[in-house]
Amino acid sequence: MMYNILVVDDDKEIVESIEIFLRNEGYNVYKAYNGVEALDILVNKEVHLILMDIMMPKLDGIKATIKIREEKNIPIILVSAKSEDTDKIMGLNIGADDYITKPFNLLELIARVKSNLRRYITLGTYNNENINNKEVLISGGLELNTSTKEVKVDGQVVKVTPIEFKILNLLLANKGRVFSIDEIYERVWNEESFNVENTVAVHIRRIREKIEINPKEPRYLKVVWGVGYKIEKL
């Protein structure tokens, strides 16, 4: 199957160079030069992954990501300049799955695209019917259905991104067991961990905001200081 990637950047030269690289890897590419154009394409086309610049006219990458996350769980990789660290953190907080810093190595970009696509297609919400395991993982009022890819808290469906789902799946399938930050990263991202504390912590915080009544006093997703994270057996 050929996957469709939407490249969104107001710098046309960057878009063209990314397009050439992606097409050489066998991907189909849609192009947009601001957030508004990106949203229009998403209405009319099936897209499997988005590469999104942050600083753009009309609608920037952060606001576009917020709009997309209202309806879709497509992986979003933010592309940002080095000076935009706060934007990167904000981007992860509002639903982006990954980020890469300009100027970037195109080989690294391709590796991140493949990694995020693999997670989305095999573990995300893309292809529910391919999952044979019907098991529902439960801890108290928290439920995760590995078949429908739904997460519920007290019977209410909670929207999660593919990465958030995989983190919850890992912790719920091993209730009570503490996973280190490095272990979580290597299992969820399928990559060797290196300085990943912030990346994992941002996703954990985002999950807590979705599943906990009071994220500062979590019932389900607990930190074990100096060791890692676990989901309580309830």
Answer yes or no: do 159 and 227 share one domain.
yes
Domain stop point among 89, 123, 157: 123
Last residue of a domain, one of 105, 123, 141: 123
Q: Of the residues 88, 123, 158, which one is the last residue of a structural domain?
A: 123
**108 and 213 housed in the same domain:** no
Residue 84: band (very low, low, confident or very high) from pLDDT cuts 50, 70, 90: low
- Burial of residue 154 (CB within 10 Å: 0-12, 13-18, 19+) is exposed
Q: How confident is the model at residue 6 (pLDDT cuts 50, 70, 90)?
A: very high
Shared domain check, 111 and 36: yes
Q: What are phi and psi of 137, to 5 degrees?
A: -95, 130
Q: In this structure, are 102 and 136 located in the same domain?
A: no
Over residues 177-194, mean pLDDT: 88
Coil, strand or helix: which one is 146? coil
pLDDT of residue 128 exceeding 50, the answer is: no
pLDDT (0 to 100) of residue 5: 97
Q: How confident is the model at residue 227 (pLDDT cuts 50, 70, 90)?
A: confident
Q: How many domains does the chain have?
A: 2
Q: Are residues 107 and 203 in the same domain?
A: no
This prediction has a pTM of 0.57
Which range has highest mean pLDDT (52-56, 78-82, 126-130)? 52-56
The parent domain of residue 184 ranges over: 130-231
Phi, psi of 72 (to 5 degrees): -125, 150
My answer on whether 112 and 151 are in the same domain is no
